[in-house]
Amino acid sequence: MDKTQKIKVLVVDDSLLFRETIARAISSDPQIVIAAVATNPFEARDRIVETHPDVVVCDVEMPLMNGIEFLRQLLPQYFVPVVMVSSGSNKVFEAIEAGAVDFVAKPDMQSGKSIEAFCLDLIQKIKAASTVKTARPKPEKAADRLAGKISHEAGAIIAIGASTGGTEAIFNILSALPPTVPGIVIVQHIPPVFSEMFAERLNTQTALRVKEAETGDYADQGTVLIAPGDRHMRIKKVGQRYRAECFQDEKVNGHCPSVDVLFDSVAKEAGGHAIGILLTGMGYDGAKGLLGMRRKGARTIGQDQASSVVYGMPKVAFDIGAVEFQAALTGIPQVLFNLLK
């Protein structure tokens, strides 16, 4: 998008209070303008045709038709990037699967601090969504699980970082991996509460043991630890195992959890025993950390442009020489398998 052009946003929510809160908040940013508001998906369709918004902000739960069904009907006919707003339901992951670019958590309307944080997060995600010009590339539905047992050296570990579009990308990779894979640690930029829901979803829909990380958890074979949505995560080597440490601190690269915080600890603690993977996302978080891993002897993989929802983080990593192997999302499990062999 031309930087001189404002990002036109359509807000869809049945709550007058919330529509006004969103509209007032995002209009405060000089790069964003409200194109229209709508109270339900049927009205939203008319506003889309009339105003041609660059981004739609839409509630998951609405009368007449919920946000998920709205996405399923809208996107095949008229692509527009959609950022969902959710009050804390795991339905948000269905919305992402249906084609939404990203989501934010509804704030506590009684808390000024909560509303302020929500507005800043929403503005950031609207800007990221505005860069998405075509429908999200659809990988073949969860690649077939890699056949056979994955053998690997003692002390092996896999670290993954992702942001915009990352929940589906991570799901597709983990769905292809058998439980003999080395321990995996993941930072996905995601709101608190949703990180636990995301871990539970992956735990039930893959062959791996997935949980939201807590300090003291070990990233053992077949185990995946997801950083909490409001805490950094790093690892510490204990013998041939890796222990997670989760802690609150200032944002790094604008994020908590930060991919760089995790990758820096993996470079230090695992060195050449690690594999780092940087997936779709806006910005540059994780690029320097991935370079640090590669310099310490780790093998590194970056998602390619064609399969990324937003080719930001993996592009920066590729440009600075942090990416050893670049691959499409559906090809990453096989690259990983080859490296582990």
Backbone φ and ψ for 72, nearest 5 degrees, come out as -65, -30
Which listed residue (54, 121, 260, 285) is catalytic?
285
State the angle between helix axes of 16-27 and 112-129 in degrees (0 to 180), rounded to the nearest 10: 70
Catalytic (active site) residue 102: no
pTM higher than 0.85? yes
Rg (CA), the chain: 20
pLDDT tens column, 256-295: 999 999 999 999 999 999 999 999 999 999 999 999 999 9
Catalytic (active site) residue 163: yes
User: Residue 170: in which H helix or E strand, if any?
Assistant: helix 166-175
Tell me if 172 sits within 8 A of 146, measured CB to CB: no
Q: Could you give the domains of the chain? A: 7-129 (3.40.50.2300), 157-340 (3.40.50.180)
User: What pLDDT sits at residue 111?
Assistant: 67
pLDDT tens column, 17-69: 888 888 888 888 999 999 999 998 889 899 999 999 999 999 888 877 888 88
Catalytic (active site) residue 29: no
pLDDT tens column, 291-310: 999 999 999 999 999 999 99
> What is d(CA 304, CA 33) in angstroms, rounded to the nearest whole number?
32
Which listed residue (13, 130, 152, 163) is catalytic?
163
Closest CA to 195 of 174, 178, 214, 176: 214
Give me the amino acid identity at 188. Q
